[in-house]
Structure 1
Amino acid sequence: MQLNCGIVGLPNVGKSTLFSALTSAPAEVANYPFCTIEPNVGIVAVPDKRMTKITEFISPKKVIPAVVEFVDIAGLVRGASKGEGLGNQFLGHIRQTGAIIHVVRCFEDDDVVHVEGRVNPLSDIETISIELAFADLDTVQKRIDGLARFMKSNDKKVSDRAKAVAPVLDRIRAALEKGIPARNAGLDENEKELVSDLHLITMKPQLYCCNVGEEDIGKENDFVKSVRTFAETDGSGIVVICGKIESEISELGSREEKEEFLAAAGLDESGLDCLIREGYNMLGLKTYFTAGEKEVRAWTFPDGAKAPQAAGVIHSDFEKGFIRAEAYHCEELFEYKSEAKLKEAGKLRVEGKEYIVRDGDVLHFRFNV
């Protein structure tokens, strides 16, 4: 279960400003390429209004949200796959993340240098996409070149696996050569598993983050419209933010101040809150809660997990000695207003080892080790 998203893009598109706002921790920001060399890593709380509402009915001593990790990776440039601009190092950082947030500049500003000399979001996307595809193509070709000796192995498991992998690699190579990312090569889950050890960059889910100017808050300029159209053909999501405004919001001290700022700007919520949730969902992550007087806490689990696996997120002993889970959904708590009334209404369920945990479940585990 990967919990991190890599923030990528050309230099000077607002990645480090975005990262600083996300984490409320300063990443170095400057008006020149390669300001960031080593990736900055930040742990970010996942905004979840359900958790706040749970505390209205179960009053805890503390509240602990779910978290997701964001990695601010240095700006890539044309030729990165060949080592330009420390490209090999930066591409290596991207391979270690579970999903990609591609920040795209969608604002004009003569005071902020564009590495290509002009603002053209689709050209920027193409530049990054080509470099990521070239990097993956090199990885795939190296694996193909080394398969022959494994096919001849006396170990039947080794040779059978090599023979199964070969056509999958050929399909990925053909897709990459046409400019199609590996995630769109039409592979099923078994085929993806066969090449998972390659950590292909273009196999990762991707979200485009359009960074707009203050004058475009609450509307879509032509730059954003072009990215949205492209994202639909690419099968990727899109989020629109104003990095400058988000940076100002992140510096405000209290939640009340932030809400007042958002209201004055005509916004229902921070663009970063939306971005965090989208990144969390893109990683295939869901949330269940534990709730009591001691704490209300959000726990992250992979979509489709069964109760013992979800229990193991708390502690491995919970999974090993799992007996049952006492469960209800947070929406039921909101309806009945208390756990006591939930029980009276027969909404408190007892679930066994085959129960598939739902996003928003409130669980209490019974185990024995």
Structure 2
Amino acid sequence: MEAGIVGLPNVGKSTLFNALTSSVAAQSANYPFCTIEPNEGIVSVPDPRLTKITEYIVPQKVIPAALKLVDIAGIVKGASEGEGLGNKFLSHIRQVDAIMQVVRCFDDPDVTHVAGKVDPIADIDTIETELVLADMQTLENALPRAEKSARGGDKEAVLRVSAIKKCNAHLESEQPLRTLELPAPEANAISSYGLMTAKPILYVANVDENDLAGEHELVQKVREHAKKTGAVVACVCAKLEAEIAELDEGDRAEMLADVGLEEPSLNVIARETYRTLGLQSYFTAGEKEVRAWPVPIGATAPQAAGVIHSDFERGFIRAEIYNLADLEQYKSEKEIRAAGKLRVEGKSYVMQDGDICHFLFNV
């Protein structure tokens, strides 16, 4: 699962990406960070539950869940028609699972806005319009072939034609597809199209360092827009976070205290991106490692086991599960088991956020 960071020029998009990735590298050698290409990186998802688990189960290493971020080429008006790096931008957006749009919510006379004024809603509209136009073009190109197959009796194509027409009507009303609810069979019929406005989105309001809580009217406008379109807003001062990310642990804590933050805002961004991707975490815990594993919300126990290794899913027998509250009460897995609180779950069990698991399998 990966999220693409998008934004107009000079909104702080690349500053945020660099801060997120360098911050993870600086925090711990055990964090699964790497730079895949200059514009790609793996970012850990800070989770305080990991620390609490290690109070009772002391491991050799601690590994948080991680997600892939892509710093996508900048966009200009007309991208859907190939302007600027439009084609590259759109092809990258189609490949990611969620969008993180950085919008500028600060004034700085030394940083020129591409449109000549700071207006985050106009920025959002510029990108959304290009994505809407690109999606309409994709659907219009796909419709004739789908209709031809439908006339030949292809049941899947009948669903596809219905979905395309509903999506086009929704897009013509200038609404993103993430606000359209399609029946599951129709949604599946067009899932291969990579429709961009159907992807979940997180708006990252890049604020001034004097407005870390995001109280400025510009941020409020972004929140109002997000509420209408089923999105979430997170605030960050990318410039400040980039400075914090370069500090060692002691200096970082001191600077956070000076600005009134309990943790870097980058931690919040990582967690919100994780949720935007529709992910939750379960844990494995032993002397070798305590680790958080990402799994889609609604995944079954065998599917969760498959995140570790495909053999675990293929040969799944059962899962033994407890949670952090059990561990805090009984102090050890041995005592949890002795108290009869270790749950045994089968193939139909739907994973819950925070489950601590052992998977039994046979292949």
TM range (shorter): over 0.9
Matched, 1:198 2:193: yes
Matched, 1:59 2:54: no
1:39, CA displacement in angstroms? 7.0
Matched, 1:347 2:338: no
Matched, 1:150 2:146: no
* Partner residue, 1:282: 276
* Partner residue, 1:72: 71
Deviations 1:222-251 (A, max 9, x none): 110111111111111000110011101111
Asked whether the 8 Å contact 2:284–2:357 carries over to 1, the reply is yes
* Partner residue, 1:31: none
1:268, CA displacement in angstroms? 2.1
1:197, CA displacement in angstroms? 0.6
Alignment equivalent of 2:262, drawn from 245, 259, 268: 268
Asked whether the 8 Å contact 2:162–2:186 carries over to 1, the reply is no
| Amino acid of the structure 1 residue aligned with 2:282 | Y
Asked whether the 8 Å contact 1:150–1:162 carries over to 2, the reply is yes
Q: Secondary structure at the match of 1:24?
A: helix
| Amino acid of the structure 2 residue aligned with 1:102 | Q
Alignment equivalent of 1:175, drawn from 170, 175, 178: 170
Q: Which structure 2 residues correspond to residues 1-369 of structure 1 after superposition, within 5 A?
A: 3-24=1-22, 40-153=39-152, 156=153, 159-254=154-249, 256-369=250-363
* Partner residue, 1:34: none
Asked whether the 8 Å contact 2:207–2:214 carries over to 1, the reply is no
Asked whether the 8 Å contact 1:6–1:70 carries over to 2, the reply is yes
Asked whether the 8 Å contact 1:39–1:93 carries over to 2, the reply is no
* Partner residue, 2:34: none
1:25, CA displacement in angstroms? 7.7
Stretch moving more, 267-276 or 240-249: 267-276
1:344, CA displacement in angstroms? 2.9
Q: Between the two proteins, what is the percent identity of the paired residues?
A: 54
| Amino acid of the structure 1 residue aligned with 2:199 | K
1:90, CA displacement in angstroms? 0.9
Deviations 1:180-226 (A, max 9, x none): 00111232333221110100000000111000111212341011011
Q: Distance in 1 between matches of 2:208 and 2:125?
A: 22
Q: Distance in 2 between matches of 1:188 and 1:12?
A: 40
Change (3 A) 1:218 1:182: closer
- Unaligned ranges ≥5, structure 2: 25-36
Asked whether the 8 Å contact 1:299–1:313 carries over to 2, the reply is yes
Q: CA RMSD in A?
A: 1.6
Q: Secondary structure at the match of 1:313?
A: helix
Asked whether the 8 Å contact 2:103–2:124 carries over to 1, the reply is yes
1:149, CA displacement in angstroms? 2.2
Q: Distance in 2 between matches of 1:333 and 1:51?
A: 12
Q: Distance in 1 between matches of 2:200 and 2:173?
A: 19
* Partner residue, 2:31: none
Asked whether the 8 Å contact 1:39–1:73 carries over to 2, the reply is no
| Amino acid of the structure 2 residue aligned with 1:92 | S
* Partner residue, 1:35: none
1:342, CA displacement in angstroms? 1.6
Deviations 1:323-346 (A, max 9, x none): 221110122212322223222322
| Amino acid of the structure 1 residue aligned with 2:15 | T
Q: Distance in 1 between matches of 2:191 and 2:309?
A: 27
Asked whether the 8 Å contact 1:327–1:348 carries over to 2, the reply is yes
Q: Distance in 2 between matches of 1:326 and 1:141?
A: 50
| Amino acid of the structure 1 residue aligned with 2:74 | G
> TM-score, structure 1 length as denominator?
0.92
Q: Distance in 1 between matches of 2:142 and 2:300?
A: 35
- Unaligned ranges ≥5, structure 1: 27-37
